[in-house]
Amino acid sequence: MATRDLTPLYRELMPAFHRWPNETSSISRIIAAFGELEFILTLCVGEVLGDRDTGLRTIFRLGSDRARIETADALIRNVYKTHGLEPQYAETIATIRHCRNIRNQYAHCHYGDHVTAGLFLTNLQDAADKSESFDYLWRHVDLPLLAKQEAYFFYAIRCLQFLEGEIRVKLGRTGVPSFFPWPTKLEPPPKHNPPSQHIPPWLSEDQQRQHLERALEQEQGGRLPKAKQPRKPKPSARERRDAALK
């Protein structure tokens, strides 16, 4: 019996991903890698508690990624501070939170694309929160940005591996000591490219104008730049003297 080729059907599922396979592969790795960050963070909890299974059970009984991070932070921050690792711990937890924001952007969005402009995404929940309209802003991502984000996730993993090993040594736990040095600091990458520089070509002329206005407002702290007023020339000494005599 011949096997039916389902490839055409698969291509109907998320067609933008099929048109941009390299970007899709990177996004998939980012989404999956966040689970690894949670796992290694939970191993740090287990080291602090002195019981790996209890650490895993405590954190992974929580239903949301935010709750897992915040609960782990509450359980272990002071222990790392007490043992002289507060700077490294603070950097690590901030890195994990930024990775969470990046990951959630890709996991909770809708995608669109254009043959030359590339891959875009938007979060409809942001638009639904508005009561007046359902306007949403498209964000653009590309391979150079995704490469920076993947590198940042790997940086987070190295930070966590350092903390897991160091606290084991500080607490005098038996087992394998730390083999991971503290990594060179990596600055957090943006979640997406500037929306004002990447306007979806499929929008109408009026929609493109609105997109640009919203993008500029967002990028400039929630307000549009004021139009510059022409400077008035300074009065001459004679004009100032004549004005004083009036």
Helix H, strand E, coil C: the string for 54-96 is HHHHHHHCCCCHHHHHHHHHHHHHHHHHHCCCHHHHHHHHHHH
- 136 pLDDT higher than 80: no
Considering the entire predicted model, what is its pTM? 0.82
DSSP 176: -
Token pair belonging to 223:
């307000």
Instruction: Judge contact between 16 and 112, C-beta under 8 A.
Output: yes
The tokens 């048109």 sit on which residue? 19
For 113-125, what is each residue's pLDDT tens digit?
A: 999 999 999 988 7
The tens digit of pLDDT for each residue in 140-154 reads 999 999 999 999 999
pLDDT above 60 (res 231)? no
* Measured CA distances, 78 to 25, 41, 53, 86 (Å): 38, 15, 21, 8
- Give 231 or 227, the one with higher predicted confidence: 231
> Measuring CA to CA, which residue among 182, 183, 211, 180 is closest to residue 195?
211
Q: Residues of the chain with pLDDT > 90: what percent?
A: 70
Mean pLDDT over 121-137 rounds to 71
Identify the pLDDT of residue 130. 62
Longest dimension (CA), the chain: 107
Residue 228's pLDDT is what?
42
Give the model confidence (pLDDT) of 55-80 as tens digits.
999 999 999 999 999 999 999 999 99
**pLDDT: which is higher, 154 or 133:** 154
Q: What is the predicted pLDDT for the residue at 220? A: 84
